[in-house]
Amino acid sequence: MRKTGPIRALGAMSGTSLDGVDVAVLDTDGHDILSFGPTAYRPYSGPENAGLQAALGQWPGDAGVQAAARIVEDAHADIIAHLLDKAPGIEIAGIHGQTLAHDPKGRGTHQAGDGAALAERLGLPVVWDFRSADVRLGGEGAPLAPVFHHACARWIGAEAPIGFLNLGGVGNLTWVDPRLSDPVAPGALLAFDTGPANAPINDLVQARRGQSHDRDGALAAQGEVEDGALELFLAEAWFRKMPPKSLDRNDFATMIELVTELNDADAAATLTAMAAAAVMQGMEHCPHQPTRLLVTGGGRLNPVMMRMIQAGLDCPVDPVEAVVLDGDFLEAQAFAYLAVRVARGLPTSCPGTTGVRAAVGGGTISRPSGVPVARDAS
């Protein structure tokens, strides 16, 4: 791979919502976004989703993990092969894998999906296992998109601090100061998980109604928030903990217990209010409120959640499409960007994003032969 100049990279993300695999192409030199390429999505089938659900919380060697890894690898191979046909010239891929367990201060972090195996299947160098190096150096291993968010802020021409809020299964917030050109410079980034977002809502409507999610917030819109349950949720010690901090998908599984006695609509409204309140609590950790909050992930499509967040903040809250970014594929684009940074020896996380002791470039690079590719000099 060339040591300087633009690289066409592919990124793939399978998030905590367990809905499917997002794939996106990005042209970058590892510093700046040069252009955005094609995107594609491959949903998990019902049996595939069930297999992943069964493996949540499991570690390598545990029951169900190998089967889950096969699901992840097959789904990635299918959709990436499709996109490779549409986007010639791709030189490297960044594969996040599917997080099954995340315990950075204990057993570590576990993403299913073997990047070396995918490199063989795709005939393409693959960067994977992005989080482990960060965790080994004392970091939370999450969130990883903030360095890319900094590049996005520069790409849209932001001139003052802005926020990026990802509302996937778990919510995470990035505060960006684009006036600092180096994303790992002190004060350029602050990032952390805010709390649960869509995962508890998805689990509720799946259990009660057999639906994958509360489409357009329609169920929550019919209900009323149970203030007592919301107060109990906000009493959790998590919200008083200073960043860096990160969550596993099921760390707040007891949220469901707080709404057990409520009807479907009131339960959905209350869980939605909890996700929004977690964001408001998280904003208190920022150096100061950003001039604008740009929202990505599935939660931006829930008007009830978006209204609740806007009601609690003084800055404008908009989906990232307002600045011509793609909220469905921003995380996949992030891993394309990070793949190039890893290949060029550039940091992918820093003390302000994960609490790691020093800026670190995570990720393992595998090429089709299975032999690690030497990283380029930056």
Average pLDDT over all residues of the chain: 94
**Which tokens belong to 141?**
């291993």
Q: What is the rounded average pLDDT of the residues 128-153?
A: 96
Q: What is the rounded average pLDDT of the residues 181-192?
A: 97
Q: Which residues pair with 25 in a beta bridge?
A: 10
Residues contacting residue 315 through CB under 8 Å, at least 6 positions apart: 163, 289, 290, 291, 292, 293
pLDDT (tens digit per residue) in 279-293: 999 999 999 999 999
- pLDDT, position 370: 47
pLDDT band at 160 (very low <50, low <70, confident <90, very high): very high
Q: What is the rounded average pLDDT of the residues 195-203?
A: 93
Q: Which residues pair with 360 in a beta bridge?
A: 349
Percent share of the chain, pLDDT over 90: 90
pLDDT (tens digit per residue) in 47-60: 999 999 999 999 99
Residue 304 scores a pLDDT above 60: yes
- pLDDT, position 16: 79
CA–CA distance, 184 with 110 (Å, rounded to integer): 25
Residue 176 scores a pLDDT above 80: yes
- pLDDT, position 15: 87
Alpha carbon distances (Å) from 270 to 250, 289, 300, 302, 363 = 18, 25, 17, 14, 38
pTM for the predicted model, two decimal places: 0.94
Q: What is the rounded average pLDDT of the residues 260-286?
A: 97
Q: Which range is least confidently modeled, 41-55, 268-282, 309-323, 360-374?
A: 360-374
- pLDDT, position 369: 80
Q: Which range is least confidently modeled, 101-105, 152-156, 338-342?
A: 101-105
Residue 97 scores a pLDDT above 50: yes
pLDDT (tens digit per residue) in 60-83: 999 999 999 999 999 999 999 999
Q: What is the rounded average pLDDT of the residues 80-91?
A: 94
Of residues 38 and 372, more confidently modeled: 38
Residue 375 scores a pLDDT above 80: no
Residue 226: phi and psi, rounded to 5, are -85, 105
Chain-centroid distance of CA 339 in Å reads 15
Please tell me the CATH superfamily of domain 157-323, with its number. Answer: ATPase, nucleotide binding domain (3.30.420.40)
CA–CA distance, 160 with 179 (Å, rounded to integer): 7
Residues contacting residue 352 through CB under 8 Å, at least 6 positions apart: 146, 184, 186, 187, 188, 189, 190, 191
Sorted by where each begins, the domain ranges of the chain are: 7-143+328-366, 157-323
Residue 229 scores a pLDDT above 90: yes
- pLDDT, position 324: 97
pLDDT band at 4 (very low <50, low <70, confident <90, very high): confident
Residue 42 scores a pLDDT above 60: yes
Q: What is the rounded average pLDDT of the residues 133-145?
A: 95
By the 10 Å C-beta count (0-12 exposed, 13-18 middle, 19+ buried), 221 is classed as middle
Q: What is the rounded average pLDDT of the residues 265-286?
A: 97
3-class SS at 4? coil
- pLDDT, position 1: 64
Q: Which residue has the tokens 């594929």?
A: 329
Residue 376: phi and psi, rounded to 5, are -70, 155
CA–CA distance, 43 with 23 (Å, rounded to integer): 11
**Which tokens belong to 89?**
């010239």
Residue 372 scores a pLDDT above 70: no
Q: What is the rounded average pLDDT of the residues 149-166?
A: 98
3-class SS at 199? helix
Q: What is the rounded average pLDDT of the residues 98-103?
A: 94
pLDDT band at 250 (very low <50, low <70, confident <90, very high): confident
DSSP string, 64-77: THHHHHHHHHHHHH
**Choices 1.10.3730.10, 3.30.420.40, 3.10.20.30, 3.40.50.300: CATH for 7-143+328-366:** 3.30.420.40
- pLDDT, position 371: 46
Percent share of the chain, pLDDT over 70: 97
Nearest to 117 by CA among 72, 79, 87, 84: 72
- pLDDT, position 2: 67
- Tell me how long the chain is: 378
Residues contacting residue 65 through CB under 8 Å, at least 6 positions apart: 55, 58, 59, 100, 112
CA–CA distance, 136 with 221 (Å, rounded to integer): 44
**Which tokens belong to 221?**
């819109």
Nearest to 233 by CA among 283, 171, 275: 275
